[in-house]
Structure 1
Amino acid sequence: MFSSVIVVTDRTVLDAQLQEAIHQINRTTGVVAHIDGLTGSKSSELAEALESGTHIVVVTIQTFPYALDAIADRTTLRGRSFAIIADEAHSSQAGGASNKLKQVLSQAELDEVAQGGAVSAEDMLAAETKARAEAGNISFFAFTATPKATTLELFGRPGPDGTPQPFHLYSMQQAIDEGFILDVLRNYTPYKTAFRLSHNGKTYATSDTGEGTVAVTTEGGDDDLVDRSAAVKSVMNWVKLHPTNISQKVQIIVEHFRQNVAWRLNGQAKAMVVTSSRKAAVRYKLAFDKYVTENGYTDVAALVAFSGEVTDPESGTDEPFSEVSMNPGLKGRDLRDAFATDEFQVMLVANKFQTGFDQPKLVAMYVDKRLGGVQAVQTLSRLNRTFPPLKDQTFVLDFTNEVDDIVDAFAPYYEATTLADVTDPNIVHDTERKLSVAGIYERSEVDGFANAFLAREGHNALVKWVAPAADRFTVRMRSAVEASNAVEIDELQMFRKDVGTYVRQYEFLSQLFDYEIPWLEKLALYLKLLAPQLRSGEKDTPIDLSAVAIDYLGHHRQATRDGELSGGTPLEPAREAGTGTVRDPDMVALDEVINRINDLFAGNHPDSSVRNVVTHIKDRLEESETLKTQAQNNSLAQFRASPDIDVAFTDAVIGSMDSSADLSAQILNNRDLARALLGELLPAVYRTLSKAS
C-alpha cells in the first residue's frame, strides 16, 4: 500500500517513546529509521531514508521541515505513496506543519504545473492549494484521546448525518471499564484559599477563593489609578507566588503524600505537582527542599522540571535557576530516568511532562494551576496508567479548580467525541473582507511578497514587502493613542486579532477545501509574517505592590468528591469571522481593588433587594454581544455549554456590587447558589438574545 510509513509526533518525549516501541516491533536492520541527526544533518538523514524506501521513519514535527529543500529536489519520490501516522494529533498536525508535509510529498504535482518553462506565482500557489486539499499520495492516520473540533474535521470521515466522525473509537469509558486505565476523577479533593490583605496600613476583610473570582469597587480615593483587570491579575499572582502561600501548600502536599500515597505500590508510589509558571516551580522546589530538611524527612525527595533559566532575586539570589542547578541529584541523567528510580518521589513541573509523560507509578497529583478543556484532560490523565496489580486508585488535590469544571472538561471525551456541525468554509472570505477594509496593506505588496516567497529570495526580501504595512499600522496606532481616539485604537486592535484569525482559519480549512483562489494563499503567507510586527502602541503600566501585605492566609480542605462522568458534549466548530472584542481599561485605585477582593467574601453588609441584583445580572447578560452571537447560532443546550457564560455571569455579579455587596458576595462565594440562579436566568436570556436584531 505504501512506500514508507512516516510516524510524526510533536513532542520529543513522545518521539523517544515511539522509537522505543517501534524498535521492539522489528529489529531487522533497515526497517526503521530514527531521524536524530547522530550520523549527519537531520535533513540529509530524512531525505536518504525516504529515497531508499525505508519502511518506517520516525520524526518529530519540528525535524521534518529541515528536509524540505532536500526532498523537493529529488525525483525519486515521484509516484510513491506515504502513510503519515500522527500520534497525539493536536494542533501541530492540523495547521501549517502538516501543510509542509503535504507540500513536500506532493512536489510532483508542482513539477507538472511547471513543465514547459517559466511558471507564474498564480500557478504555483494554485497548485500548492490544490495539493493541500487533495493530496492523493498521502494517507493520514491520526491517534488521539482528546480530539479538538479541528482534528475531527481534518481526519474524520463523513457520518450518516454529514458530520465528521472517527474511523474507530475506543472510548475512555470502555478503557476504564475494562481496566486498561484508571478513573482519575475518583478521590478528587479541592482546596479553598482564604487570605486577608492590607495596603498602606489599611486592613481588609478575609477572602476565600479558589483563584476564580475577584472584584473591585469604585468608591473613590486619591491613590494613583490602575487598570482594574491588570490590578486584579497582579494582586492574585502576587498572592499565588507569596512564600507564605507556597510554604503552606508544600506542607499540605508533603504530609498528604507521606500519609496517603508514599506507602502504596510497595513504597514505589510517586506524585506530580503542577505549578502555574516557571517562577512558581522554582519557589515550590526551594520551599519543598526547605520543609523536608527542617522536618528531617529522608523518605521524600523532589525533582523540578522547567525549560530555560529563571531569575528570581526575591528568592535571595541573583543567580539564574535551571533544571541542572536545582536538581543536583540528576548526575547527568535524564529527568524521566531519574524520576523512575527510588531516589525521587515527587516531580514539580511547569508546562513540562503535563502531556506525553508515561510514568505508571504516578498515584497522586497536586494541582496549583488553572486547567480547562483539553489541557485538564491531558494533565490529569498522567495518573490513569495502571501498575498491576498494585495500583487501584489515584488522588488529586486541587488548589485552583472546581470539581464540576474538571468534570465538564472530561465530558466530551468520556463516551464519544462528536462534532455538532462542520465549519463553514466561507468564514475565510468573511475574515478576508474584514481585513481588506482596514487599509493597512496594499494588494501590490501582497503580490510582491508572494513572488519573492516563491523565488526563495530570503527573509530580508520578504520583510521588505511587509514593512510598509507594519509602518502604516504603527503610525496610525501612535497617532490614535496620542489623540486618545478610542474608536481608531479599537479598530486597529481588532485588525491585529483578525490577522491571526485569518491565518489559523485558512491553514486549517485549506486542508479540507480547495479554494482555487491564489489570493487567499498569498494573503495567508503575507499575514503570517506581518502578524508579529503589529504592536499595540500602548505600554502596560506596572502595578506597584510594594505596600501590600498578607495579614492572614490559610488553605481549607473541601469535601472529597468522585467526579461523575456521563455522555459527551458535542464540540463546536469555528463559526464566525473574528468575533473578538477589545476591552477598555477600567481605572480604579489599587486600594479599591484589594478592598473588593476581600469584601467579596465578607458577610457583614446590610441586606439589599434580591430583585435589584437579579435584574441587574439578567440585563448585563443580555447586553453581551458575544452571548448574543452564540445564542443566535446555537440551541439552548449548546448555549448552556458555552464557557463565555460563566465569564459574563461573574462580570455581571461583580457589577451588581454597588446595589448589594452582601448578596453579590454570597453568589460568588456559593457555587451551588450561583449555578441555581444562572440556571433560572438562562432560558429567558437565551430567548431574548436569540431574537435580538
Structure 2
Amino acid sequence: DLVRQFIHEVEEEDEKGRKTGKRFLIFPRYQQLDCVRRLVADARATGAGQRYLIQHSAGSGKSFTIAWLAHQLSVLHDAGDRRVFDSIVVITDRRVLDRQLQTTMRQFEQTLGVVENIDTTSRQLKDALESGKTIIVTTLQKFPVIAKEIGELPGKRFALIVDEAHSSQSGESTKSLKAVLSSGSLEEAETEEAGAATPEEDLESTILSEMEKRGRLPNLSTFAFTATPKPKTLELFGTKRADGKFAPFHLYSMRQAIEEGFILDVLANYATYKAYWRLLKKVEDDPRYVKQKAEYLLKSFVELHHHAIGEKVRIMVEHFAAKVQHEISGRAKAMVVTRSRLHAVRYKLAMDKVLAERGYPFKALVAFSGTVQDGGQSYTESGMNGFPEAQTAKTFERPEYRFLVVANKFQTGFDQPLLHTMYVDKKLGGVNAVQTLSRLNRTLPPEKKGTMVLDFANEADEIKAAFEPYYETTLLSEATDPNLLYEIQTRLGAFPVYGAADVEAFAKVYFDPKATQDRLYVALAPVVERFGALSEEEQHDFRGQLTDYVRLYAFLAQVLTFADADLEKLYVFARHLRRLLPADRAELPREVQQNIDMESYRIQQTGSGKIALERRPGVLDPVSTKQGHSVSPEELETLSRIIAELNERFGLNLGPEHRVTLGQMMEKLADDAALDAAARVNTRENVRLTFDQKVEHVIQEIVDSNFDLYKRITDDRAFGEAIKNFLLDQYLRAHRNAEELIKAGESKTLEFKSTLRWSLKEDRQDDKGVTHAVLKTIAAFLNTEGGDLLIGVADDGSIVGIERDQLESDDKFMRHLAQVVRNGLGDRAGTCMDPKCQIVQGKTVCVVSCQRSQEPVFLKWKGVEAVPDGDFFVRSGPGTVKLSSESAREYIRTRFPGFTREGEADGPSKGAV
C-alpha cells in the first residue's frame, strides 16, 4: 500500500512551471500517512454524507496530503465494490488557483485526464461536472456563479476537499455550492409533477427545499483542512465527543510542527514597544466634542503624524541594518504590517526617505488595494512601486527589495521563506494574529535559523492569548444553542417595523421564479419606512439584531435540520431588508484634528524575549449573540479636558515604566467585581472606603515589578495621595452613570439641582438664587471630600433635564457652567471639576464630578457674599453650610496646612483654588 498509494516520483518544475528534468521521490511523513489512511478507511465504511475536520499546522505538507487523499478517494470502493464517490472536488478559497496545489495534484496523476484544473471560466467547471471528471480542482468563487445554470446533478456522490475551511464554508456561497452538488432522482421528479398543489403548498415546498440545500447532504462528504479552526468550523465539520465538545478528526499541531523543525517559532524572539506622547491645544476657544469620537480622532492624529511614523521607521530601519540584513546569508527580508491604507502610504514615503538619508542599499515595496488620497495627491500600489500590482509578490523576490509595507494584503497565504522579521503597527487578535505572524514561519535550512518580531501595537499577553488555542489541539466547548435563533426572532418581532404579513408577502415574491427584482423592493418599502420612524438608538439595536439573525441562521441551517419554514422565510426577508436599511450615521468631528498639535512623542521598548505557550488543548466557545445592540451614551466634553485626559493616559510626568505599572493597576481595579458593585450603587465617600482597601492591596502587588514607584507612593505621602486620587477619579469616570447615582439618593457627596440658572417657580433666569445655590454646592464639595452634583434632577430624584435652563444646546450649557464657575470660584476651580452630559429618560442630565481641592475655594458672586472677599462653604451631612470667618480660618488651618495668601489678615480675600 505504501509503495502503490503514497511513494511517487515527480519531476521538478521551475518558477514558470517548466520541467527541469530533475526527478525525486516523494515519501509521506507519519502524519500525512496516518491522516489519509484514517480518512479513506472511514469513508469506505460510512460512505457519502460525512464531514471531517483536519487541523494540520503550517509545515504539515498539506498540499501533498490533499493530493494523496483526492487520488485515493477517486478510486475508493465500498465493501460491496461500489464506487463511493463519482467526483472529487478540491476547493481553495484563493481567487487565483493555488499553483502549488494545482501542480501537486497534476504530479500525482497516473492516468492522463483524471485531474481537471478549473482556473478560468465557470463554463469550464460546468462542463467538468457534467462530463463526470474524476478530480476537479477549482476556487470557491466559481460555485455561486454557476449554481443557477446547472441545477441539480441527479444521483451523483461527491467528495469535497476544502483548503482553509474556516473562510470557505459559511453562508450563501456554501448553500449555492451544495445546491449544485445535491442529489436528485426520478422519484423526486414524479413527486413534483403529481397533482396540482395550492400556491401556499408550492411556497412551503420551495422554502423547505432551500432549507435542505443548507443542511447535511447524504450524497456529499466534506474534508475540511485548516490550521486555525474557528468555532463555526469546529461545529460544522468537527467530531462531537462524548463530553459534548467538538474536536478535529485528525490533528498535526503547531507545537509538533515546531518541534519537528518543519516551521519556525515566530514567538521565540518577540519585542514590544509603547509610545508616550502629549498633545496641546492650539486655538483660543475650547470647543466641545463627543468625547469618544474626539478621542478616537486624536489618537488617530498621533498614529498618522509624520513624526510618529518617522520615529517608528527609524527604529525599524536601524534594527534591520544592525540585526537582520546579514541573516539568511545576507538575503533576509522584512514585512511592515500597518493599520490602514493611509498608514501604508505614509510608511512607504517615510521609509524611502530614511533609507535614502542613511545611504542603505535597501528598497521598499508597498501593497494595498485601490486609491488613497492624502495631502491632495492620489496614491496607488502600482504608482508607488513603479510596476503593475500583479507583479508585487514576484518583484519582492529580487535581492534589493528588503521591506514590504502592507495594509490588509499578503497577511495570509503569502509564502516567502526569506521573510525573517516583521514590524507590526496594527492591532492583531485571534486567528488574524496567528495567520499574520505565521508569514515568518517558513523554514529555509540551513540558513534561516530564527525570526524576529517588533510589535508597536500589541502586548505580549494579547499575542499569547491569540496563539494558545491553536498551539495544541483546538476544541469547541459545546454546540451553539439553537434557541438563540428563536430569542432573536422574538426580539426582532417586538420592534414596530414588520409583522408576519410583511414576511409572508415578501416570501411569496422571493420564492416565485417569475418575480422581478423591483417587486422585492416594493414588498420591503413600507418596512424600510417604518424603520425610519425609530429613534437612532432603536435603529442601531434593530439593525444589530437583524444582522445577528442572518448570520446565526446561515450557520445553524448547515448544522441542524429545521422543520420550521417561518425561520427560512424570516431569513430571506431579513437578508434583503438589511441591505436596504440606511447605515449608522456616525459623523466624526474631524475638525478637532485641526485644533491640536503634538507637543512630545517618544517610543520605549517595554519587553523582549520568548512568548511561551502552554501545552494544553485550546477551548473555544460557540457562537453567541447580544441581548441588545445599544448605542453608547455620547458624552460632550471640552477639547482641553479631552486632551488633558489623553495626556494623563499617554504622557504622565512619570517614567514609561511607571505609566505601564499604573495601567496594570487600573486593569486590576477594573476587574474587581466587588469594587464595581460598590461604585455603581454607592456615593463617592462610601466608594472611597472600599476603593482605599482595594488600592492598598494593588499597591502591595507592585513591590516586585516596580519597587521605585512603590517606594515613592509609600514614602511620599502627598505623592501617594495624588496617585490614589488619580486612580479613583479614573475608576469612577468609567463606572458611574447618572441613573445609578439618582437611585443612591442625596448624601454628603451627592446632591441634585433642578437647573443651573432658571427658576422653575418664577419661570425666569435667577442667577442670584439658582446659580448661587449650584456654586455653593460645588465650592463645598471642593473644600470637603469631593462629590457629584447632578444638574437636571429634582430633590425627589425626578428628571427635570437641563433643557429647562433654556440654553440652545448642551455645548452652550457646558460653556455657561464653566463661565459661572470661573467668575464665582476662580480660574483654578474648573481644573477640579469633570462635568459630562448623559441622557436619562429622554432628558439631559449634567453630572459634575468634583475632586477634593488641594487649596481652599471661596465663593464671590454678584454681591450675594456676606464677606467682601468671598464666602467659605463645606459639606455637612447631605447639606451645604457657610462657615464664619473664624470657623473658616480654623478649618483651613486644619484641612489645608501651610496655606497662606498675600495680604490676608482676619478673613479670606477673593481668590481661587
Question: Is TM more than 0.5 here?
Answer: yes
Give the AA of the match of 1:141: F
Moved more, 613-622 or 106-115: 613-622
Query: Of residues 223, 226, 229 in structure 2, which corresponds to 1:147?
Result: 229
- Give the Å deviation of 1:129: 1.4
Q: Distance in 2 between matches of 1:322 and 1:434?
A: 45
SS in structure 2 opposite 1:359?
Answer: coil
Give the match for residue 554 of structure 1.
Answer: 602
Instruction: Quote the Cα distance in structure 2 between the aligned partners of 1:15 and 1:602.
Output: 51
Partner of 1:229: 292
Which structure's relative contact order is higher, taking Cα pairs within 8 Å and 6+ residues apart?
A: 1
2 CA distance for matches of 1:57 and 1:261? 43
Q: Which piece of structure 1 moves more, 498-507 or 515-524?
A: 515-524
Q: Distance in 1 between matches of 2:326 and 2:337?
A: 22
The verdict on how the C-alpha distance between 1:14 and 1:191 changes in structure 2, with shifts beyond 3 A counting, is farther
What letter corresponds to residue 160 of structure 2 in structure 1? I
Instruction: Kindly provide the amino acid, as one letter, of the partner of residue 474 in structure 2.
Output: T
Residue of 502, 510, 518 corresponding to 1:460: 518
With over 3 angstroms needed to count, the CA separation of the structure-2 counterparts of 1:267 and 1:331, relative to structure 1, is: farther
Structure 1 match to 2:723: 662
Tell me the alpha carbon deviations over residues 339-392 of structure 1, each in whole angstroms, 9 at most, x when there is no partner: 122231111110011111111111100000000111111111111111111112
SS at match of 2:251: coil
Q: Is contact 2:95-2:141 (8 Å) kept?
A: no
Q: Is the 8 A contact 1:78 1:108 kept in 2?
A: yes
Q: Greater CA radius of gyration, 1 or 2?
A: 2
**Amino acid paired to 1:556:** Q
1:287-341 Cα offsets, whole Å, 9 max, x none, are 111111222222x11111111111112xxx43x211110111x467522211122
Change (3 A) 1:468 1:189: same
* Paired position in structure 2 for 1:307: 369
Q: Which residue of 1 aligns with 2:313?
A: 250
**Residues 492-501 or 25-34, more deviating:** 25-34
CA separation of 1:432/1:105 partners in 2, compared to 1, >3 Å: closer, same or farther? same
Correspondence for 1:425: 482
* 1:8 maps onto 2:55 in alignment: no
Q: Distance in 2 between matches of 1:343 and 1:292?
A: 12
Residues 13 and 356, structure 1, Cα contact 8 Å, conserved in 2: no
What is the Cα deviation at residue 460 of structure 1? 2.3
Output the CA distance in 2 between the equivalents of 1:417 and 1:128.
32
The change in CA–CA distance for 1:599 and 1:309 in structure 2 (over 3 A counts) is same
Q: Is the 8 A contact 2:119 2:139 kept in 1?
A: no
Where does residue 597 of structure 1 map in the other structure? 646
2:128 counterpart of 1:78: no
* Corresponding residue SS for 1:247: helix
Contact 2:183–2:219 (CA under 8 A) maintained in structure 1? no
Indicate whether 1:24 and 2:87 are aligned. Answer: no
Unaligned 5+ runs, structure 1: 203-221, 481-488, 626-658, 670-693
Aligned position for 1:435: 492
| 1:156 and 2:217 matched | no
Query: Counterpart of 1:43 in structure 2: which amino acid?
Result: S
What's 1:588 paired with? 637
For residues 144 and 667 of structure 1, the distance between their equivalents in structure 2, rounded to whole angstroms, comes to 47
Q: What is the aligned partner in structure 1 of residue 783 from structure 2?
A: none
Aligned residue in 2 for 1:637? none
State the partner residue of 1:469. Answer: 527
Q: 1:479-490, aligned counterparts within 5 Å? A: 480=535, 489-490=536-537
Whether 2:322 is the aligned partner of 1:272: answer no
Measured against aligned partners, the alpha-carbon deviations of 1:209-268 in whole angstroms (never above 9, x if no partner) come to xxxxxxxxxxxxx73321111111111111111111111111111111122112111122
Q: How has the CA–CA distance of structure 1 residues 667 and 81 changed in structure 2, closer, same or farther, with 3 Å as cutoff?
A: farther
Q: Using a 3 Å threshold, how does the CA distance of structure 1 residues 395 and 614 change in structure 2: closer, same or farther?
A: closer
112 and 325 in structure 1: CA distance in 2 versus 1, 3 angstrom threshold:
farther
| Matches of 1:661 and 1:100, distance apart in 2 | 63
> Which residue of structure 1 lines up, in the alignment, with residue 262 of structure 2?
180
TM-score by structure 1 length?
A: 0.80
Distance (whole Å) between structure 2 residues aligned to residue 15 and residue 112 of structure 1: 43
Q: Which amino acid aligns with 1:525?
A: V
Q: In structure 1, what is the equivalent of residue 380 of structure 2?
A: 322
The structure 2 residue matched to 1:92, chosen from 158, 165, 168, is 168
Q: Which runs of 5+ in 2 are unaligned?
A: 1-83, 681-719, 731-913
Distance 2:104 2:302 in 1: 44
Structure 1 residues 4 and 504: CA distance shift in structure 2, 3 A: same
- Distance in 1 between residues matched to 2:255 and 2:679, nearest whole Å: 37
- The amino acid of 1:523's aligned partner reads L
Q: CA deviation at 1:438?
A: 1.0
Q: Deviations over 1:469-511 (max 9, x none)?
A: 111101x13xx3xxxxxxxx43332111000000111000111
Q: Secondary structure at the match of 2:193?
A: coil
Q: Distance in 2 between matches of 1:234 and 1:570?
A: 36
Structure 1 distance, partners of 2:168, 2:627, is 22
**Partner amino acid for 1:449?**
F
Residues 405-461 of structure 1, C-alpha deviation per residue, up to 9 Å, x if partnerless? 101110111111011111111111111111112121232332232232223434322
**3-state SS of the aligned residue for 1:510?**
helix
Q: Give the match for residue 208 of structure 1.
A: none
Q: In structure 2, do the counterparts of structure 1 residues 461 and 256 end up closer, same or farther at CA, with 3 Å as the change threshold? A: same
| One-letter amino acid matched to 2:581 | L
- 1:28 shift after superposition: 5.6
Instruction: Check whether the contact 1:430–1:577 (CA below 8 A) recurs between aligned residues.
Output: no
Q: Describe the SS at the equivalent of 1:22.
A: helix
2:623 alignment partner, one of 574, 589, 592 = 574
State the secondary structure of the residue aligned to 1:6: strand
RMSD: 2.9
- The answer on whether the counterparts of 1:602 and 1:665 sit within 8 Å (CA) in structure 2 is no
What residue number does 1:58 align with? 137
Q: Which amino acid aligns with 2:634?
A: P
Is 1:509 the counterpart of 2:588? The answer is: no
AA in 2 matched with 1:245: A
1:25 maps to a residue whose letter is: F
1:203-214 paired onto structure 2 within 5 Å: none
Q: Would you say 1:494 and 2:541 are equivalent positions?
A: yes
Distance in 1 (alpha carbons) for counterparts of 2:88 and 2:218: 15
User: Which residue, 194, 217, 224 being the options, matches 1:135?
Assistant: 217
Question: Partner residue of 2:50?
Answer: none
Residues 519-538 of structure 1: matches in 2 within 5 Å? Answer: 519-535=566-582, 538=585
1:345 is paired with a residue whose SS is strand
1:640 paired residue number: none
**Contact 2:162 2:168 (C-alpha < 8 Å) held by counterparts:** no
